[in-house]
Amino acid sequence: SYALTQPSSVSVSPGQTASITCSGDKLGDKYACWYQQKPGQSPVLVIYQDDKRPSGIPERFSGSNSGNTATLSISGTQAMDEADYYCQAWDSSTEAVVFGGGTKLTVL
């Protein structure tokens, strides 16, 4: 079955750009999306269809997807961005939903 791989943790200094990757076989041929989850809260969709932002999501969140890797970028990272981030894609052969293992973003 299809699998997505994320780094377990990423650290970034306030004001810098954080990049979180998500790898999967030919992921660039599928649509990827990203969720932010803070402790004790439900996930929030921050990027869908590779690079689209839902209403209410700050412009500092952006996404890209090419080859085998999708990337979530957060520019001008703030303390409030510290959270777990999950990528998600659709296995087009089975229409199953696949989540990555999650990345803990620490803003130092």
Q: List residues near other proteins by CB under 8 A.
A: 1, 30-31, 33, 35, 37, 42-45, 48-49, 54, 86, 88, 90, 94-102
- What's the closest the beta carbon of residue 43 comes to other proteins, in angstroms? 6
Nearer to other proteins, 16 or 69 (CB): 69
- What's the closest the beta carbon of residue 101 comes to other proteins, in angstroms? 5
From edge to edge, which strands make up the β-sheet containing 69-74? 18-23, 69-74, 61-66
Nearer to other proteins, 3 or 108 (CB): 3
Nearer to other proteins, 16 or 31 (CB): 31
Nearer to other proteins, 54 or 67 (CB): 54
Across 6-102, where does the E strand assignment appear?
Answer: 9-12, 18-23, 32-37, 44-47, 61-66, 69-74, 83-91, 96-99
The rounded distance, in Å, linking the Cα atoms of 42 and 13 is: 25
Question: By the 8 A CB rule, do 15 and 74 touch?
Answer: no
